[in-house]
Amino acid sequence: MQHSFLLYPAGLVLAGLLTACTPAGPADLETVQQQNIRVVRQLQAGLNQHDWAGVSQLYAERVRYKGPHTRYQEVEQTPGEVVAAYRGYHLEITQLYAAYEHHVVVEGRLSQGSPRPVCMIYTIENGRITRQYTY
């Protein structure tokens, strides 16, 4: 009795396995990165326009957050809790970097009066922010 895997040349089986394990190609990665950058730009615009409902919709149902408001301890919060920490602030982005498939790094200034430098790392999955680290 022959097993079906013996009917395929080893090269084809190996090629199929490698294809299944390969991450998205450069064109797909670039598309995802552009979508993630768009989410962060929407977040910046919403914060600066005080569109709290719009900003909340950019976050997932539960968000892993770490920043000055939690004394840099990672906590799980609702979108409303994350947004409440930024009410009244203005965010100016000076640099924006896509970091592979799910991350965007933002350098900028956050101000509520006098501006202070800030670095934010966002994890974006399925078009929603699932994690935000602010330094």
- Residue 25 has what DSSP assignment? P
Residue 82: the pLDDT is: 92
Structure tokens at 71: 């004394």
CB of 109 within 8 A of CB of 85? Answer: no
Residue 69: the pLDDT is: 86
Average pLDDT over residues 87-101: 93
Reported as a single tens digit per residue, the pLDDT across 102-112 is 999 999 999 98
* pTM for the model: 0.78
Reported as a single tens digit per residue, the pLDDT across 17-51 is 444 445 556 669 999 999 999 999 999 999 999 99
Q: Where are the domains of the chain?
A: 25-134
Architecture of domain 25-134: Roll (3.10)
